[in-house]
A and B are shown apart, each in its own frame.
Chain A
Amino acid sequence: MSGAFGERRFEVARLRVPEWLLEVRGLGKSYGPHDDAVIASTGPQAGTAKSPLNGSVVAAWDVSFAVAAGEALGIVGESGSGKTTVLRCLAGDTAPTAGQANIRLPDGIVSLFEVAPAERRRLRIDTVSVVYQDPAEGLKLNVTAGGNIAEPLTAAGWRNFGKIRSRAEELLARTEVPLNRMDDLVRSFSGGMKQRVQIAKALANSPSVVLFDEPTTGLDASVAAGVLDLIRSLLEEHRIAAVVVSHDFSVIEMLTQRCLVMQHGRVVESALTDQLLEDPHHPYTQRLVAAARA
C-alpha cells in the first residue's frame, strides 16, 4: 500500500507486533439450556444476564481477545459482569459452553478446550497459572509455604529434594516472603503474605500465561499496594502474557496496557487502557470511569 504527499509517494509501513501467546475466540458460558433466542434475550441491551425465556444465566458470551508476551490485558466490569467466568473457563475450573482458547507453545499451538484431560492438567501445571482472589483456592492452607510451591514442581517432574527446596527459596525471596516462614503452614500467614505465596506458586514452572483474578481485592490498602508493586515488577521482568480481572480501575491502570469492559456477560468496549479512562465510548464504561474518578 502507498499514499502520497502531493506528488510524492510514500509506503505504508507494516508494523510488527509481538505474537499472541493466548488467544480466545467466541468464548461463552451459559448456566442452563441455551439457543439463539435465549442468548439474544440476555446481554447489555436486555439489561440482564439471566434469560427471561427460560431462566438460564448466560454468564459470558462471545468474548474474544489475544494477549502477547510481555503484555497485560485487563478485564473490568462490576460483579456479575462475567469477567471471572471468562477467567475460570481459561483456568479449567469451569467448562465453557462455546468458543476456543489457543495457547502458543514453543512447538506449536494447542487448543485448551479440546486437548485430552491429562494434557490439559499438564498445561495448567507448566504453562497457564492462576492467581485467585481467595488464597484458599490457589493454596492448600494446611500445607507449608514450601510444600505448596513444591506441588507444581513435583507435578512437572522435579524429583530432587534439594533442587525443589532451592527453587522454592528463590521464589519466596522474589515474592518477598521471609525465608524463615518457608516451613510454616500457610494457614498462619497474613492475607498479603498468603497472596505472595500464591504468586510464588503460580510462577513456579515459569508459565507463559498468568491469569490474575482480583489479586488484591480484600487486602488492606498498604498491603494491596505491596502486592500490586510485586505483580507489576514481575510482569516487567518476565515475558508473560497476563490477564488481569478487576473491578478496580486503579489496578487496571497500573498493570495493563489494553482492556476489555464487560457488562451482563458481554464485552461492551475494548481499547487501550488510557483511552478507556480518558475517552470511554460505551455508556456503561462512561459510568464506570465517572464513578472511579469521583
Chain B
Amino acid sequence: MRRDPVLDVRLLGKSFVLHAVSGREVVALRDFTFSLATGEHVALAGMSGAGKSTLLKCIYRTYRPTSGEVWLQIHAGEYVDMCALTDAEVAAIRGHEIGYVSQFLRSEPRRGALDIVMKSALQRGMSEHDAREAARLALTRVGLEPHLWDVYASVLSGGEKQRVNLAAGTVHPPRLLLLDEPLSALDPENRERALELIGSLTRRGVAIVSIFHDLEAIQRLATRVLVVEKGRLVAERDPQDLDERLAAAAR
C-alpha cells in the first residue's frame, strides 16, 4: 500500500514580472507535479536556471507561486495548501514544519551559531532547555568546533556558515526538509559528515527534496531523481541510472 504523501505538489507554476525591464515576464516553473512520502529523498537534477531552486522556494513560500497547490501534511491525514495560507499562517507553520537549508547562510547579523541553531529548535516547539541541548548536539554533529559557537556567524568561513545552516535545518528535524546545495562549500571531511547526517535523517523518516551539484551525493542519498528542464519536470530516474551528462547538467 502506498503511504500518504508528506508533500504533494500539484501543477505548481511561478512567473516573475520584472518591472525594471518594462514588465517582462519570466516563467520559472510550469505545471510542476510530484509527491513525496516519509523517508523519501527526491533530488532535483537539471541545468542551472532550470527552476530547481525556484521549486524549493515556492514550497517554502519565500516565492509566492503563481498557480498550483502545495499540500503539506501537518498531522496524519491532515494537510494544508501552502499556496492558500495567509502570511500569518505561513509564518506560523514554516519554522515548525519545514526545514530549509540554503547554500548561503542568511542569518541575522550579530548572532552566534549556537543562538541560531537554538532559535530554530525553539521554533520547532522544543523547550528552552531541550533546545540548548539539541543545538549543541546538532553543532557537534556537523563538526563545528565549540569555540566557534558563540562567535557571530557572519564572520565565520563559508564552510563553517554552511555547517551552521545544516545544523539549524536538521536540529529536531521537521517532517519536510528542503536542501539547496548544502554541501557546496565543505571540505572532504565535513562533507562526509554532512552526507552521513542527511542519510540518517532519511532513515529516520524525514522527507527530503534536495539540490546537489554532484553525482556522488545524489547517488548516495536520493531515493528518486526528478529531472527539471526549463521549469518543467521532464523525467523521473532511479539515482543509480543517472548518467554523467545529467549529473554534469546538474552542476
Contacts and interface: CB of A to CB of B under 8 A. Distances in A.
B18 interface: yes
Given A15-B89, A290-B20, A272 B79 contact: no
B85 A15 contact: yes
B80 interface: yes
Query: SS class of chain A's interface: helix, strand, loop or mixed?
Result: mixed
Contacts of B35: 5
B93 A15 contact: yes
A68 B91 CA distance: 12
A281 B88 contact: no
Contacts of B18: 286
Given A11-B78, A254-B108, A271 B20 contact: no
B8 A275 contact: no
B91 A272 contact: yes
B63 A275 contact: yes
Most chain-A Cβ atoms within 10 A of its Cβ — which of B35, B89, B92? B92
Interface string A200-231: 00000000000000000000000001000100
B85 A279 contact: no
Contact of B17 (A10, A274, A281): A281
Contacts of B90: 272
A257 B91 contact: yes
Nearest to B57: A278
A106 interface: no
Nearest to B119: A236
A283 interface: yes
Contact of A279 (B8, B63, B93, B109): B63
B4 interface: yes
B88 A17 contact: yes
B87 interface: yes
A271 B88 CA distance: 9
Nearest to A236: B119
A293 B23 CA distance: 20
Nearest to A68: B88
Most chain-B Cβ atoms within 10 A of its Cβ — which of A8, A10, A68? A10
B62 A270 contact: no
Contacts of A83: none
Nearest to B16: A279
B108 A272 contact: no
B80 A281 contact: no
Contact of A286 (B20, B78, B86, B88): B20
B71 A3 contact: yes
A286 B93 CA distance: 27
Interface string A68-92: 1001000000000000000000000
Contacts of B229: none
Contact of A13 (B16, B64, B78, B110): B78
Contacts of A290: 20
A66 B17 CA distance: 28
Contacts of B71: 3, 10
Query: SS class of chain B's interface: helix, strand, loop or mixed?
Result: mixed
Given A225-B110, A286-B19, A281 B64 contact: yes
B1 to A, nearest CB: 10
B5 interface: yes
Nearest to A259: B87
Contacts of A68: 88
A41 B74 CA distance: 47
Interface in B106-120: 108-110
Interface string A53-73: 000000000000010100100
A9 to B, nearest CB: 8
Nearest to B69: A3
Interface in A245-275: 250, 253-254, 257-258, 270-272, 274-275
Interface string A14-33: 01111000000000000000
B91 A5 contact: no
A287 interface: yes
B33 to A, nearest CB: 12
A269 to B, nearest CB: 11
A232 interface: yes
A271 B87 contact: yes
Nearest to B85: A15
A17 B64 contact: no
B88 A12 contact: no
B147 interface: no
B61 interface: yes
A254 B89 CA distance: 20
Nearest to B14: A279
User: 6 closest Cβ contacts across the A-B interface?
Assistant: A283-B19, A13-B78, A279-B63, A17-B88, A15-B89, A11-B78
Interface of A: 3, 5, 8, 10-13, 15-18, 66, 68, 71, 225, 229, 232, 250, 253-254, 257-258, 270-272, 274-275, 278-279, 281-283, 286-287, 290
8 contacts: A5-B5, A10-B71, A11-B77, A225-B109, A250-B109, A254-B109, A275-B64, A287-B19
